[in-house]
Each structure stands twice: as C-alpha cells, then as structure tokens.
Amino acid sequence: MSDGLRRVAGTSAHAIHDWLEQTELRRSDAKPASPSRAESPAVAQLKNRPSPATVGARLDDFRRQAEASYQVDGKTVRVSAAFCTLHGGPAKQGGYVAAIKKALGPERFRELAPKALAATSTRGTPEDIRITTQALLDAGVAKDLLAKRPDLSPEQAVRVVMGAYGIGLDCRGYALRAFLHARGNGSVPARMDRYFDKDAGNVLFQHEGRMRRVATDLSVARPGDIIRLKPGADGRDHNVIVRSNELRRLPETGEMMVLGKDVPAGFVTKGAAAGAEPSVRVVTVDAAWGDGGDPTLGGVRRMAWLYNEKSGEWGHWDRFGAFRTSSGPYDHSLDGVYRPRGET
C-alpha cells in the first residue's frame, strides 16, 4: 500500500483532499497532441474541434456507463448513479468513507479505498461508483434494507444505498466527467490538464482560463458544450452538458413528442398567430439532478429543455414527470454556454 493510501485509509478529511488532488492527473495515460509548428491557430482549432456526431455518440456511451448493472436480492438490475453533494465540506465525505469502511470491514475496505474515496467525492467515474456500490450490496447492506422496507424495488434499494453512503455525482461532477469522455479516445477520457488548470474537485467552468463563454443564448449550444445556470434561491448554480440542440416544427399530426413524452399542445401553440407555424427549440442535456432528499429520484439522466420561440416561454419535465413552464431554462436564469478556447 502506498503512503498516500495509508493516509486516506484513516478517513482523515485532509488526507482525502490531498490524495484526490495528488492522483487526479494519473487517471489517464493519454498525452495531449501538439499542433504542427506550420499550422495556423485557426487550423489547429479546427483540428481540435470534435464533430457533433462523435461527441454525441460518446456522450451516449458515457451515460450508458453511468447506468450500471448491479446484483441485488438475486436479481440483475440497471441503476443510474445517484445525486450526491458535499455541501458541508470535506468532513462530510470523511463520514461517508468511515461508514463504508465499517460496512465492508478493514480488509475489504483496504482493497477498495481508492474507489470508495473517488465514489464519494462527487467527481468519481462510473466505474468507481459501480464497484463501491456493488461491494456494499455484496456485504448485505441492501438485503437488510429490503427486509426493513419491503415497499422498495431492488432498483430503489440500490439508490437508497448510494444515498446512505454518499455515493454518486453532483451536476458539475457529471458534466466534467462527460466533458472529458466526449473528448477522449476509446475508453480513455481526455486529460484534465488539457482543459483545466484546477483539479476535478475545484473546477468551475466559468472561471477556467481554457474555457470561454461563447454565448448567453442557447440557440448556439452544440453537443459537448457546458451550460451553466445561475444560482437559484438555494444559492447553488447548475451545470449540464449539451447532447443535442434543434428547432422543431409542429408535425402534421399536430402532436409533438420529446424523449418519448407528449409536449402539451398549449405550450407548443402559445404565441403563434393564426395560421403561423409554431416552433419549439429542444435542447437535450445530461447531468446529475437533485433528488429533493429522496435518493430514488433525481440522479443521472437526460432532460429536455423546451423553448417556445413565439411566446418566449420555457418548459421541462420535473423529477416527478410533470411538465412545468417558466421564464428561464429549468426555472433558472442562464449564465451562459461554455466551450474550450481551442474549439471554434
């Protein structure tokens, strides 16, 4: 066991922070390519810009990874990563890690300590989350839970276990990991230091020197861009990654569907003059969404934000499946669309 791992095995909050910071750049062996000296900056930027189709496919792949298979109660179920936040400081993570160590026992925990630390950092990989969660399930945590809560399905039990042990991602954590995967190659994500000056736990898209705000209008957002929404009443901002962006016209059937859901006709036609063709912009985004205190809700999923260009109204489906309208995307004020400076 390395000296760094010996320190974190004691679940010291400072050791956790130090270990994560020291090991962040070791996660990928890929090395950034340097443009030819003969290339102009414009040519280098075009080379660095991944195609929307490639980015979209890699975002789909990353979302599938975040919806892992688990063995629980004699069944195989697929469950997306839960929402987790560390508001409250490093001590909160230390408590989660100590609980995992107690549930697994010292020997098993020693084997999984790096995974457990990453899985509870809100910045871990889907594999960190899957391995740590399955270890807890194998230790019988879900069996005890289902005995006490027979109303829970196996899928819900997995989510409750994640929530109880602080395993999962917050919105910035998912957006960051998806951003790097989208610009990586094969199973290897892009290096953190190619795009960011800070370690994963301290990245703020709006303050990163290698990122730029390209617009405050979502019409220009493209796959792989980061959208940041300004803090709401709770003082927290929201960060998502764009999967697609398109302007939809009303089909001949007179009904519009987005992500398998019917868009209310009143929303689609609002503001359109008699005889005018309604148009709705559909921006699909991926993130880890808040659960409102119930880990069976929220978590990693794809959401659609709809903008009626005639009425100026926004719409989305909330965590319970109800369609909501507001004056801004996801009932927030938009800060902007962020993109690497090396991508035109």
Whether residue 30 lies inside any domain: the answer is no
* The last residue of a domain, from among 168, 187, 217: 168
What is the pLDDT tens value at each position of the chain, 344 positions in all? 444 444 444 444 444 545 444 544 444 444 454 555 555 554 444 556 789 999 999 999 999 999 999 999 889 999 999 999 987 677 899 999 999 999 999 999 999 999 999 999 999 999 999 999 999 999 999 988 888 888 999 999 999 999 999 999 999 999 999 999 999 999 999 999 999 999 999 999 999 999 999 999 999 999 999 999 999 888 889 999 999 999 998 887 889 999 999 999 999 999 887 667 889 999 999 999 998 899 999 999 999 999 999 999 999 999 899 999 999 999 999 999 999 999 98
Report the number of distinct structural domains present in the chain.
2
Residues 278 and 220 in one domain: yes
Residues 73 and 188 in one domain: no
Whether residue 38 lies inside any domain: the answer is no
Residues 161 and 199 in one domain: no
Whether residue 113 lies inside any domain: the answer is yes
Whether residue 58 lies inside any domain: the answer is no
* The last residue of a domain, from among 149, 168, 187: 168
**pTM of the entire structure?**
0.85
Residues 181 and 319 in one domain: yes
Residues 264 and 139 in one domain: no
Residues 144 and 188 in one domain: no
Q: Do 320 and 328 touch, CB atoms closer than 8 A?
A: no
Residues 320 and 178 in one domain: yes
CA distances in angstroms from 11 to 91, 100, 167, 339, listed in the order given: 9, 10, 15, 36
- Which residues lie across from 80 on neighbouring strands? 67
Reduced to 3 states (helix: H, G, I; strand: E, B; else coil), residue 301 is: strand
**195-207: burial string, b at 16+ Cβ within 10 Å, e else:** bbeebbbebebee
Whether residue 47 lies inside any domain: the answer is no
H or E element, residue 114:
helix 106-119
Q: Give residue 202's domain range.
A: 174-340
Whether residue 273 lies inside any domain: the answer is yes
Residues 179 and 307 in one domain: yes
